[in-house]
Structure 1
Amino acid sequence: MKKIGWAILLLACCIGGFLALPSNYYLRRALTHFLPKIDQYPIFENRIVKAGDPSPWKQAEAYNTCSIPEKYLPVFDELGTVAYVVIQDSSLLFEQYWEDYSPESHSNSFSMAKSIVSLAIGCAIDDGLIRDVDQPVSDFFPEFNGYNGKTLTIRHLLTMSAGVDFQEAYSSPFSPTTKLYYGNDLHKIAFGMKEIAEPGVNFIYQSGVTQLLAFLVEKATGESVSSYVSRKLWTPMQAEENALWSLDKKDGMEKAYCCFNSNARDFARFGQLLLNGGSWNGRQLISESYLKEATTPDSTLRFAEYDEPNRCYGFQFWHLNYKGMDIPYMRGILGQYVFIIPDKNAVVVRLGHKRSDTRTGQHYPDDINTWLDAALDIMEQGKQNNH
């Protein structure tokens, strides 16, 4: 028994020593906090994305005279919905909150932030700081010069077809995704990626690629990603609340592939910007041509996992065809969504703790059906209540 006790103690000391290594900072945090959660921003350093000209949404005439039909409520409850907002005709038609969440509560965007980084790229192109999406990445970072004679371009980063060796895995504490989230050196991970395949061939979803895009935004603009997004988008879109973008360390780099913390009302502004073709109050914030390309799947790419043409992903925006409607959308791993529905002149935001584990087709979580169907029913109720 004494030998067993000493063996356990020795193992514990070894593990403790391993975790104490500076390189395993991320692992200590992962074991402390376990899987990512929507309200974890206080455990990170954060940079303010300033809302410099706040203005509330106009309320629709039928504002909150509607309700979520009862048949959808079990899914809303089961998946831990905390906020649900429907904007139609540029007005707030419906909103509901659960738990202690309110219109001002911060919640993590998770991978919806990837779409925000894409918008920042579009703004930098408009500003002449980036030539176009086909500019070589090596113009900014010479270490990324392509593979097998094919140049790596910004387009390849935007479309997740970079051909790098980043392995996306959320369940393993040793994955690069976990290192991105809980670690304190985003530069080391992003610039440690190796080019191992020809770019522009396969769509393979990789958070490290978006992080590299954010470093490119920083290099091109000469300012932090938070500052640039505040100046070019958040303030001009008249967000009501400052957002918080989590950093890898004090005065560090934004976790740009995730971790933009805001509320449902203000997340909806990104959707409205797309509905408006890139303009806000008559001011063009981002070119309409960029948005059109960003929200159109690049079907020249092969969706590697399904061995078929990509039908679901553009420039860091997802896309689906639902009941005959083309719907671009932003998406986060725990069921964060901003849906843009041009056919209904509407934006739908859902925030929560979980999404469905069931997938259809090209990584299509089937909880999406609930959020869209409930919104369509609410809009129909609003239409009737206006008469």
Structure 2
Amino acid sequence: MLKKIGGYTILVVIFLGIIYFFLPNYAQKAFLHLTADIDDYKIFENRTIAASNPKEWKLSPQYNQYEMGQTYQDELDSYETTAFLIVKDTALYYQQYFLGYDQNEISNSFSAAKSIVSLLVGIAIEEGKIESVFQPVSDFLDSFQEGEKSKIVIKDLLTMSSGIEWDEAYISPFSKTTDAYYGDDLKKIVNDLEVSDAPAKEFAYKSINTQILAEILESATGQSISDYAANRFWRKIGAEYDALWSLDKVGGMEKAFCCFNSTARDFARIGQLVLNNGSWNDEQVVPADYIEMATKPAQLTGSEKSIPHYGYQWWILNYKGKQIPYARGILGQYIFVLRDENAVVVRLGKSRSKLYTDEHPNDVYVYVEAAYELLK
């Protein structure tokens, strides 16, 4: 009997090995790693965004004086939180780290990177590299010069309303999103895109929109988005640590729709920049009018139809009469901007709620409520 079981096991292993051998490269990687992880920068090539002007956060007089209630702490634990941090009045008010992580650890931002790309678009517009959000994508990318794709403008990408055909599936090892995450030719993926619906018709969250924005930035500036971010953004906000942007291959393209890797303390600087309406130390890093447009409900191009929960690659939480812009990643990477408290909240971790309320994962409400309790 044991010999039969052993024989069957060997046959299964051989069968799976044959299947694995014939899979495309990206699917092999997906099967090998099974699920995305906050430490995935270790399995990818990366480009460094240098922290060439590091500044530590000053400490608030109330720094870590208040304890989080047990109910909130249990919720944080249940979603495998690695960092929870609050900056108030430009000073570090609260920080705690869990599961062996500390303030020096970098973490994948996942889709919170989309909000960073949006800020870079705003900078490029201010510099005249991009005319406006209404400039056609075809001005930058040859593959968008014919057919329905020629009608897409930058704003359609920013508001997730491009009509591009895309399979936003995270579980399937054969989806386009999996190919983008584990594959090695993002530019080919963008080049081969087709349109499934007219642009500016409706909101449909698709990561490829952000990847197209990254290619536009590269074309407009003549730099990689990592180099552009380092020069126009990262050093100006006094980031303490080098960040890493994961690439599709050696010397390749940034996975712009995800995969900006940094610390909780430096992610907080991104929120602080938005809280400051794009200003840092009296320098206007991102235009204030762009920040305003990016962090309020967006209108579809040429329409009065608005998206109540989304701006320009920033989510918007309508919470107790407040509009809270925030960046969000698939494993619960969040940067919240609490304008009424002059505060920024960062939560990093390994999972998030699978239940949603008004387009937002339910754990979002937990972190916002916990922050307001700590700020009382």
Which residue is equivalent to 1:323? 320
Give the alignment of 1:281-292 within 5 angstroms.
281-292=281-292
Shift of the alpha carbon at 1:11? Answer: 8.0
User: Is 1:50 paired with 2:39?
Assistant: no
Which residue is equivalent to 1:252? 252
- Evaluate the alpha carbon distance shift between residue 9 and residue 77 of structure 1 in structure 2; reply closer, same or farther with a 3 A threshold: closer
| SS of match in other structure, 1:174 | coil
User: Is 1:366 paired with 2:367?
Assistant: no
Deviations 1:88-131 (A, max 9, x none): 11110000000111111011100000011111111111111111
1:352 pairs with 338, 349, 354, which one? 349
Shift of the alpha carbon at 1:161? Answer: 0.6
Shift of the alpha carbon at 1:19? Answer: 3.5
Distance 2:331 2:266 in 1: 18
User: Is 1:174 paired with 2:174?
Assistant: yes
Deviations 1:126-168 (A, max 9, x none): 1111111100000111321475597210111111111111110
8 Å contact kept, 2:149–2:194: no
- Evaluate the alpha carbon distance shift between residue 220 and residue 135 of structure 1 in structure 2; reply closer, same or farther with a 3 A threshold: same
Which residue is equivalent to 1:202? 202
Distance 1:89 1:224 in 2: 33
8 Å contact kept, 1:27–1:173: yes
- Evaluate the alpha carbon distance shift between residue 150 and residue 258 of structure 1 in structure 2; reply closer, same or farther with a 3 A threshold: closer
Deviations 1:307-355 (A, max 9, x none): x952111110000111121100000000110000111101000000111
Distance 2:21 2:289 in 1: 50
- Evaluate the alpha carbon distance shift between residue 7 and residue 187 of structure 1 in structure 2; reply closer, same or farther with a 3 A threshold: farther
Shift of the alpha carbon at 1:196? Answer: 2.4
Shift of the alpha carbon at 1:374? Answer: 0.8
| SS of match in other structure, 1:215 | helix
Distance 2:176 2:183 in 1: 9
**Number of residues of Structure 1 aligned to a counterpart in Structure 2:** 372
Query: In structure 2, what residue type is equivalent to 1:196?
Result: S
- Evaluate the alpha carbon distance shift between residue 196 and residue 74 of structure 1 in structure 2; reply closer, same or farther with a 3 A threshold: same
Shift of the alpha carbon at 1:5? Answer: 11
| SS of match in other structure, 1:86 | strand
Deviations 1:250-279 (A, max 9, x none): 111111100111111100001100111111
Distance 1:344 1:207 in 2: 31
Distance 2:236 2:340 in 1: 25
Shift of the alpha carbon at 1:298? Answer: 1.8
Which residue is equivalent to 1:82? 82
Query: In structure 2, what residue type is equivalent to 1:20?
Result: F
Distance 1:69 1:298 in 2: 36
Shift of the alpha carbon at 1:16? Answer: 4.0
Which residue is equivalent to 2:94? 94
Deviations 1:173-223 (A, max 9, x none): 111111111111111222221022210111100011111111111111111
8 Å contact kept, 1:123–1:285: yes
TM-score (norm 2): 0.93
Shift of the alpha carbon at 1:368? Answer: 1.0
Distance 1:149 1:55 in 2: 44
Shift of the alpha carbon at 1:15? Answer: 5.4
| SS of match in other structure, 1:202 | coil
8 Å contact kept, 2:27–2:174: yes
- Evaluate the alpha carbon distance shift between residue 118 and residue 62 of structure 1 in structure 2; reply closer, same or farther with a 3 A threshold: same
Query: In structure 1, what residue type is equivalent to 2:21?
Result: A
> 69-78 or 87-96, which moves further after superposition?
69-78
Query: In structure 1, what residue type is equivalent to 2:160?
Result: M
Distance 1:19 1:140 in 2: 38
Which residue is equivalent to 2:307? 310
Query: In structure 2, what residue type is equivalent to 1:311?
Result: P
8 Å contact kept, 2:137–2:150: no
Which residue is equivalent to 2:153? 153
Query: In structure 2, what residue type is equivalent to 1:366?
Result: N
Gaps of 5+ in 1: 302-307, 381-387
Gaps of 5+ in 2: none
The percent of aligned pairs where both chains have the same amino acid is 46
8 Å contact kept, 1:150–1:198: no
| SS of match in other structure, 1:143 | helix
User: Is 1:342 paired with 2:339?
Assistant: yes
Query: In structure 2, what residue type is equivalent to 1:328?
Result: P
Shift of the alpha carbon at 1:33? Answer: 0.6
Which residue is equivalent to 1:268? 268
Which residue is equivalent to 1:375? 371
8 Å contact kept, 2:165–2:194: yes
Distance 1:268 1:196 in 2: 37
